[in-house]
Amino acid sequence: MNPTRDLPVSLDLLRGFEAAARLLSFTTAAQELFLTQSAVSRQVQQLEEQLGVKLFERRTRALVLTEAGERYYRDVARALANLREATAAVRARPEPVVRLTTTVTFASLWLVPRLADFQARHAGIPVHCVADDALRELDRVPADMAIRYCPAAMAGPGAVRLFGELVTPVASPLLLKKGRVRTMDDLLAMPLLDRDDPKGAGSWLSWKAWCAAMEVAPPRRRGLSFSHYDQMMQAAIAGQGVALGRIPLINDLLEDRRLALALPGERHAWPSDRAYWLVVAAGAARRNEVKVFTDWLTAEASRSSKSAGSRTRRTR
């Protein structure tokens, strides 16, 4: 049996026949299918020739199905209905993409460098990341999940803590070697990179806040300031000054020695009152691709969290 030759050449022939058999009129079927009456008539004639069976009795002002036509109509109508249902189901099925919203800093320093690993493991699951510093409500944006940087009280119901944050001074290894930074006084005498934060939105990440936590006088000398944290990290890598590093966000920069701890030791690492929280939209949690990405994300976060404490104890 040849599966191809055992079927009519065109689905259009079956659609024309089904409409004509259901309506018992070539003219009305043609109107429904946006064809001419002669086109539908030719479709039915071509189908009859392929089947070698007469499907209609063509009478004056009347169209009547033959016995074979009646049987064939029932089967074709059922088959076309199944095709319509299958097509609608495929069209309604959402694309297996994971959409998330998060902060610019988290995306650029932590998430994006790791997405290549996720894609290597799960090439069939695209990830769409929208990064800005607004706290987005998932019921108001087209996103499956949000990764929020905030205190626990602002994380929202059902939020899963990915990891906390330690704030400690970092700089390029070459700058630290040249400046011979060994003590707090040495550190505060260096050019200090800071956030340009006129509204105080990130005041907990300022040198003033860090010095208060270390119980030392705030620095008088400042260096460059930046509107975005990732810009400040690039300046630190370039040796333009000392910045407040956020561990584990900058783990990769420390690992490959683009940055180093300016004053190693736990006592110089200030635990922030903020953390990174994962919130998954209720409607998205049941989707397989969202579960796969969530499992991968929490595993990566766990590895980062475990390395954070040991990293602050290392020496240059």
pLDDT band with cut points at 50, 70 and 90 for residue 5: low
**pTM, to two decimals:** 0.67
Of the two residues 239 and 89, the one the predictor is more confident about is 239
pLDDT band with cut points at 50, 70 and 90 for residue 62: confident
CB distance 287 to 240 below 8 Å: no
Check pLDDT > 60 for residue 151. yes
Query: Which one of 40, 71, 92 terminates a domain?
Result: 92
pLDDT at 96: 84
**Which string of DSSP letters, residue by residue, matches 37-61?**
HHHHHHHHHHHHHHHTS--EEEETT
Show the domain range for 143: 98-163+275-304
Instruction: Please tell me whether residues 50 and 121 are part of one structural domain.
Output: no
Check pLDDT > 50 for residue 316. no
Counted domains in the chain: 3
Long-range CB pairs of 174-182, under 8 A, 24+ apart, other chains included: 174/239, 175/239, 175/241, 175/242, 176/260, 176/262, 176/316, 181/242, 181/262, 181/263
Residue range 153-164: mean pLDDT, rounded: 91
Backbone phi and psi for residue 268, each to the nearest 5 degrees, phi listed first:
-95, 0
Beta strands in 68-165 (DSSP E): 98-102, 127-131, 145-150, 160-163
Tokens representing 149 are 């940087």
Closest to 191 (Cα-Cα) out of 214, 167, 210, 207? 207
pLDDT band with cut points at 50, 70 and 90 for residue 94: low
Q: What's CA 258's distance to the chain center, in Å? A: 28
Check pLDDT > 90 for residue 73. yes
Instruction: Please tell me whether residues 159 and 102 are part of one structural domain.
Output: yes
Instruction: Please tell me whether residues 284 and 245 are part of one structural domain.
Output: no
Residues 249-285: tens digit of each pLDDT: 999 999 999 999 999 888 899 898 899 999 999 889 8
Provide the CATH number for the domain around residue 129: 3.40.190.10
pLDDT at 1: 47
pLDDT at 221: 66
